[in-house]
């Protein structure tokens, strides 16, 4: 019992952070599934969601801010795709990736300009930021509601992808980009829709994440972004349940490592995991093997 | 134009450049902005060319450059701090573990070697990966390197997350140009050798290259280690130029900047990388500075201008280049004497421009 009460906070923090990574990871995995592009800007879109909340909450009440932030983040994600990725549809993959890095650089610098480089205090969202006690551990309510919320969203998303027309189009596009185009799928709207879903989930993730870590800085999105990507790779890129499991795993292990007093290596672990996965099972946990044709 | 005259013109041009730099150094006050810009430009030119060797010539999309620069910078700093100053620099670690100091030039070479060793070890697992997975894995390793160098337990050697300082540094602009120039010349020689041709073959088609008998793993490893060696050297030069160094500055943003320099110059063009690194540094550190300070025309305050605006404008320019001028300044062409002076002569002889 003593051991449990000592380690439970880390475990709970891990599950909670894992859920937040999961919401970001879905955005990566879906975009990668269709475009074969690591959307380096995704972490920064997540950061933008945090910043918009900070600024919106100074003039508007919270219950107006939340939908506003979601709409604005979705809009940013949509615009990024239209402006920076769409013109490069037929370009080599490397060019698109460079463009993604360029967008990330732009968003970070824009945030630096707007904030003046100072960490901005994230507003307290009532109810989810309340302090509660679980099994003798004091924590914020957000820690507890993150996992069920993530699972609900994922179920909704899986339903969307498996059962609806647009979901079918997305699956077709990720199987074979060109053939799906020939079959009459409007590929641009499918891709836009993918970015919209990804950004929406990133916005939801930002509410949860920043309720725990309240400082919003221009580079705050970079690390969660990379970790979420690793989670997506771990779970098998393109697979949503895989990304979620990977994200929870990374969140939990990272916090256990922190609990052991090895904070320096908590980030290193993530990348070590990535390399191990890529070497031994490059398709990830649930990924489908694709043979390279010569 | 014969090879001989080309060499003569090249030597004359390089001599003239060095002479101009020398005269600049003698006439302008040493605090003048131009020296800062040119020194940093020379250092970035080296690291950009080293990245181009990987990304542009071997087709390995690696994002680990900042990590290897860090290794180089720290190796240089750790090995050259004078023994007398060690107690002061390593104040939290009882003067540190290493109690000797090497000559700066030796330390610069060792900085490269150290980065090369790191690259060799990292390359063993990582180089099996392809394209974007390689990018993420190298980016990850760069972050791991940064974390390890800041680790407390290594403090007696790396000084933890504290500054390394008081190591010797060359103030002369010429030193940076010569050091970086020699390194770039070595890279160019490598690219023009049989190894370089193998690299290009791998870039164009891995499977075909393998079928022609090129050992993929071996050549990729060579390109990776050599590139990291020079990234390490440029890290040492950067440490020297800054006079103090801290692991925290070698973030992935630094790699992104270098990558963008390579892209602006043209992926696969050495001279392009050199030109664009000077342009990049001159624009970002000097010409666009005015965007960062408030300005008044008459009584009206010019809108938007305040700290940080420079970087936004800069990022927008970069995005425009990435989206609309994908070939960059030079594409895959090289700037050479032959192209400029020799075109008419070549036409007579061969009926075409020099191919490079």
**What does the block give as tokens for B156?**
């007696």
Model ipTM over 0.85: no
Contact B133 A117 (CB under 8 A): no
- Per-residue pLDDT of B145-154, as tens digits, reads 888 888 888 8
For residues B237, B240, B244 and B247, what is the CA-based torsion angle, rounded to 10 degrees? 20
Instruction: Return the residue in A264, A270, A276, A284 with the most chain B beta carbons within 10 A, the one to mutate for interface testing.
Output: A264
Looking at residue B293, its pLDDT comes to 74
Gap between the terminal Cα atoms of chain B: 15
Residues near B97 by beta carbon (within 8 Å), at least 6 away in sequence: B156, B157
Size of interface A-B (CB pairs under 8 A): 122
DSSP state of B53: I
pLDDT value at position A294? 54
Is the Cβ–Cβ distance between A77 and A196 less than 8 Å? yes
Mean pLDDT of A253-281: 82
- Is the pLDDT at B190 greater than 80? The verdict is yes
Q: What are the tens digits of pLDDT across the range B207-223?
A: 999 999 999 999 999 99
**Mean pLDDT over all residues of chain A?**
87
Residue carrying the six token digits 């800041």: B150
Question: Phi and psi at residue B342, in whole multiples of 5°?
Answer: -95, 0
Q: Residue B290 carries which DSSP code?
A: G
Find the mean pLDDT for residues B72-100.
85
Q: Which residue has the tokens 């008998």?
A: B213
pLDDT band at A120 (very low <50, low <70, confident <90, very high): confident
Residue B257 token pair: 């900047």
Whether the predicted pLDDT of A137 surpasses 80: no
Cβ contact B158:B247 at 8 Å: yes
What is d(CA A169, CA A155) in angstroms, rounded to the nearest whole number?
Answer: 18
Q: For each of the domains in chain A, give its residue range(s) and CATH number, in order of start.
A: 2-280 (1.10.3470)
Joined together, the tokens standing for residue B44 give 């970035």
8 A C-beta contact, residue B44 and residue B29:
no
- What value does the mean pLDDT of chain B take? 85
Q: Which residue has the higher pLDDT, A147 or A238?
A: A147
Q: Distance between CA A213 and CA B280 in Å, rounded?
A: 35
For residues B354 and B2, the model is more confident at: B2
Coil, strand or helix: which one is A133?
strand
Query: Which tokens is A241 given?
Result: 């349940």
pLDDT score for B353: 39
Strand, coil or helix: A137: strand
Q: Is B207 on the interface with A (CB under 8 A)?
A: yes
Percent of chain B with pLDDT over 70: 94
pLDDT of amino acid A1: 58
Q: How does residue B356 score in pLDDT terms, banded at 50, 70 and 90?
A: very low
Q: Average pLDDT in the B227-244 region? A: 94
Backbone angles phi, psi at B294, to 5 degrees: -70, 145
Residue B111 has pLDDT above 90, yes or no: yes
Those residues whose C-beta lies under 8 Å from the C-beta of residue B159, and which sit 6 or more positions away, are B78, B89, B90, B92, B93, B96
> Closest Cα partner for A28 from A100, A110, A82, A76?
A100
Of B194, B227, B257, which is closest to residue B55 (Cα–Cα)? B227
Task: Using a CB–CB cutoff of 8 Å, tell me whether A113 touches chain B.
Answer: yes
Q: Is the pLDDT of residue B243 over 80?
A: yes
Q: How many CA atoms lie within 13 A of B220 on its CB side?
A: 23
Beta strand B300-301 with B296-297 is: antiparallel
* Phi (first) and psi of residue B50, to 5 degrees: -65, -35
- The answer, for A272 touching chain B at a CB cutoff of 8 Å, is yes
Residue with tokens 């305050």: B301
DSSP A85: I
Least confident range of A79-83, A112-116, B327-331: B327-331
Nearest CA in chain B to A85: B323
Segment (H or E) for A101: helix A93-115
Q: Is A215 on the interface with B (CB under 8 A)?
A: no
For position B296, what pLDDT does the model report? 75
Q: In this complex, do A106 and B316 lie within 8 Å of one another by their Cβ atoms?
A: yes
Nearest alpha-carbon partner for A38 in A47, A50, A29, A49: A29
């Amino acid at each position: 019992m003593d051991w449990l009460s000592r380690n439970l906070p880390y475990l709970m923090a891990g599950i909670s952070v894992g859920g937040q990574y999961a919401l970001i990871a879905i955005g990566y995995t879906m975009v990668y599934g269709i475009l074969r592009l690591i959307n380096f800007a995704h972490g920064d879109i997540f950061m933008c969601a945090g910043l918009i909340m900070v600024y919106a909450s100074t003039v508007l009440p919270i219950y107006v801010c939340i939908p506003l932030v979601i709409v604005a983040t979705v809009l940013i994600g949509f615009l990024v795709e239209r402006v920076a990725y769409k013109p490069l549809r037929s370009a080599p993959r490397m060019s698109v990736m460079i463009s993604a890095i360029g967008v990330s650089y732009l968003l970070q610098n824009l945030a630096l300009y707007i904030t003046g480089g100072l960490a901005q205090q994230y507003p307290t969202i009532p109810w989810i930021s309340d302090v509660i006690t679980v099994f003798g551990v004091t924590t914020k309510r957000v820690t507890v509601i993150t996992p069920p919320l993530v699972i609900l969203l994922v179920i909704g998303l899986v339903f969307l992808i498996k059962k609806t027309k647009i979901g079918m189009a997305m699956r077709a596009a990720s199987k074979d980009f060109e053939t799906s185009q020939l079959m009459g799928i409007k590929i641009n709207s499918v891709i836009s829709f993918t970015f919209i879903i990804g950004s929406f989930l990133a916005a939801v993730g930002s509410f949860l994440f920043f309720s725990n870590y309240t400082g919003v800085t221009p580079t705050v999105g970079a690390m969660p972004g990379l970790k979420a990507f690793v989670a997506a790779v771990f779970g098998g890129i393109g697979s949503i349940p895989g990304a979620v499991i990977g994200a929870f795993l990374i969140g939990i292990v990272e916090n256990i490592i922190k609990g052991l007093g090895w904070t320096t290596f908590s980030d290193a672990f993530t990348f070590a995991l990535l390399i191990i996965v890529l070497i031994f099972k490059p398709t990830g946990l649930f990924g489908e093997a694709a043979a390279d044709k010569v | 134009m014969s090879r001989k005259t080309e060499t003569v013109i090249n030597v004359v041009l390089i001599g003239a450049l060095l002479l101009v730099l020398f005269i600049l150094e003698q006439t302008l006050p040493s605090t003048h902005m131009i020296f800062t810009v040119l020194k940093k430009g020379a250092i970035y030119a080296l690291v950009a060319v080293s990245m181009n060797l990987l990304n542009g010539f071997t087709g390995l999309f690696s994002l680990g450059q900042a990590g290897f620069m860090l290794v180089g910078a720290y190796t240089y700093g750790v090995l050259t701090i004078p023994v007398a100053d060690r107690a002061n620099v390593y104040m939290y670690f009882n003067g540190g573990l290493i109690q000797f100091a090497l000559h700066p030039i030796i330390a610069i070479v060792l900085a490269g070697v150290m980065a090369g060793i790191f690259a060799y070890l990292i390359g063993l697992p990582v180089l099996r990966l392809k394209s974007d997975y390689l990018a993420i894995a190298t980016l990850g390793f760069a972050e791991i390197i940064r974390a390890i160098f800041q680790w407390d337990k290594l403090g007696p050697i790396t000084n933890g997350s504290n500054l390394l300082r008081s190591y010797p540094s060359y103030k002369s602009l010429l030193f940076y140009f010569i050091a970086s120039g020699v390194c770039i010349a070595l890279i160019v020689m490598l690219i023009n050798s049989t190894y370089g041709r193998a690299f290009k073959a791998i870039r164009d088609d891995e499977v075909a290259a393998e079928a022609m008998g090129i050992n993929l793993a071996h050549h990729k490893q060579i390109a990776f280690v050599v590139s990291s060696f020079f990234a390490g050297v440029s890290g040492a030069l950067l440490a020297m130029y800054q006079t103090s160094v801290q692991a925290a500055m070698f973030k992935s943003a630094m790699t992104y900047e270098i990558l963008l320099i390579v892209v602006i110059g043209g992926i696969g063009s050495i001279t392009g990388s050199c030109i664009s690194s000077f342009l990049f540094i001159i624009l970002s550190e000097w010409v666009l500075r005015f965007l960062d300070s408030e300005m008044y025309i008459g009584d009206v305050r010019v809108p938007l201008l305040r700290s940080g605006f420079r970087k936004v404008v800069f990022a927008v320019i970069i995005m425009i280049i990435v989206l609309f001028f994908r070939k960059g300044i030079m594409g895959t062409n090289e700037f050479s004497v032959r192209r400029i002076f020799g075109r008419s002569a070549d036409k007579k002889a061969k009926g075409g421009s020099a191919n490079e």
